[in-house]
Amino acid sequence: MIATLTGIVAEKLLNVVVLDVRGVGYGLLVPTEDYGRLVSGESAKVYIYEHIREQSHDLFGFITQDSKQLFEQLLEVNGVGPKMALNVLSIGTTQSVRQAIAGGDVKFIQQTNGVGKKVAERIVVELKDKVGLSGVDLASTGLLQSDTMIMGDEAAEALAALGFSPQDAMKALEGVDKTLPTAERIKQALASK
């Protein structure tokens, strides 16, 4: 297992930094923040995450242990692989990504190439208490509501069938009288949108 590499930054290609370690060039996939900080021709120490598959052997490099740790936490989220985790880290600084996760800023995380709303919500829900910052109350953001919360509410289920997320369906029905017939509740919820 490779834990760190120390060498000279030999080349900076499109999305890979080549680190020359005593004549051996290691191609490292790095977050945008680190790519900007690594200078060609200068010495650098990089923390390594190895991802070995049948078809490839990828090395992910990080200037700080902190950014590597956040990368590894992202990998713990179901549906997030190494390249997606690297993309998440590349939308801002490590600190801004941490703050977005702790603060429940799903829209910021959705800026990541390949990350949709559900994955961004999953990242926030699973990591908000693990990123080392005080987070927001997820119940207040609506992120903890799941499909099960609309079960049994025909109007909410109908709105979900029309393409509303469970959170949006519940929100649309907030001010609608629950004693009204289902069809009327749906009409009023749609009118309020």
- Residues 77 and 24 reside in one and the same domain: no
Query: Residue 9 maps to which CATH number?
Result: 2.40.50.140
Tokens 């051996």 sit on residue: 24
Number of domains making up the chain: 3
- Residues 128 and 88 reside in one and the same domain: yes
Distinct helix (H) and strand (E) counts, the chain: 10, 5
Least confident of 4-8, 92-96, 111-115, 170-174: 170-174
pLDDT digits (tens, 9 = 90+) for 27-55: 999 999 999 999 999 999 999 999 998 88
Q: Is pTM beyond 0.85 here?
A: no
**When comparing pLDDT for 171 and 63, which is higher?**
63
Rounded mean pLDDT, 145-159: 60
pLDDT over 50 (residue 16): yes
Cα–Cα distance measured from residue 152 to residue 136, given in angstroms and rounded to the nearest whole number: 29
pLDDT for 84 equals: 93
- Flag whether 186 is in a domain: yes
- Flag whether 36 is in a domain: yes
Q: What is the DSSP letter of 16?
A: E
- Residues 89 and 118 reside in one and the same domain: yes
pLDDT over 80 (residue 137): no
Least confident of 74-78, 95-99, 154-158: 154-158
153 within 8 A of 173, measured Cβ to Cβ: yes
Give the residue numbers spanning the domain of 11.
4-62
Q: Which of 17, 80, 101, 76 is nearest to 9 (CA)?
A: 17
